[in-house]
Chain A
Amino acid sequence: DAGVTQSPTHLIKTRGQQVTLRCSPISGHKSVSWYQQVLGQGPQFIFQYYEKEERGRGNFPDRFSARQFPNYSSELNVNALLLGDSALYLCASSFLLLAGVFEQFFGPGTRLTVL
């Protein structure tokens, strides 16, 4: 298993445009989370999806949306891009180990630059 995969690796957009980022979780993982990591900061939680339903949302505007497909892959969409949306977008898949122990695995990220 290649682990969590994300595409594309890099993306350059201009202000006002829309972008779609993609994520494939580790085989067998049903939960996908999205994070935004601005340079010099830790990752910030955007969304979590489990079994195709949104389970959690961070403090992000409605311009950010996501969905999860029947094969558990996920897309993150950002509309009306702003310069401040420039960041590394991380996807993580997770599962519950025995006794409720939680583990989350991260992908390599998509670097989005908004000009």
Chain B
Amino acid sequence: AQRVTQPEKLLSVFKGAPVELKCNYSYSGSPELFWYVQYSRQRLQLLLRHISRESIKGFTADLNKGETSFHLKKPFAQEEDSAMYYCALRSSGGGADGLTFGKGTHLIIQP
């Protein structure tokens, strides 16, 4: 069974400090990994996907198949980064596109 683990429920860092939100997954096939973000009073939205190897709002994430990890990183945190972050996995090759989410990490950027 596939599983996504986000070990930190809450992460608090100061503005300008580096940020790393951890995500580990368990899946026997070749997964697609995503990071979703939910800002206060807004809906869940896609932040980035591993397949695109993109950088959004200064965030990057590298898929490490050896360590089964997909950590989200940003070198200099900004106050507007405060939000809930969810790591998600989509199984490939099957008919369904349902995502498996982690429990989320609440990121707080202190001024």
Contact = CB atoms under 8 A, between A and B. Distances in A.
A55 B103 contact: no
A48 B96 contact: yes
Given A43-B86, A101-B52, A56 B44 contact: no
A10 to B, nearest CB: 15
A44 B101 contact: yes
Interface of B: 4, 6, 32, 43-46, 49, 51-52, 86, 88, 90, 94-104
Given A42-B102, A102-B90, 7 more contacts: A33-B97, A33-B99, A43-B101, A56-B96, A90-B44, A102-B32, A102-B49
Nearest to A44: B101
Contact of A56 (B52, B88, B95): B95
A50 B99 CA distance: 15
Contacts of B51: 101
A103 B44 CA distance: 13
Contact of B104 (A42, A48, A103): A42
A45 B52 contact: no
A103 B95 contact: no
Interface stretch (A14-22, A69-77, A79-87, A105-113): A105-113
B29 to A, nearest CB: 15
Given A43-B86, A101-B52, A58 B44 contact: no
A94 interface: yes
Choose among A3, A48, A90 the residue with the greatest number of B CB atoms under 10 Å from its CB. A48
A56 B94 contact: yes
Contacts of A47: 98
B101 A106 contact: no
B98 A48 contact: yes
Given A40-B103, A42-B86, A48 B97 contact: yes
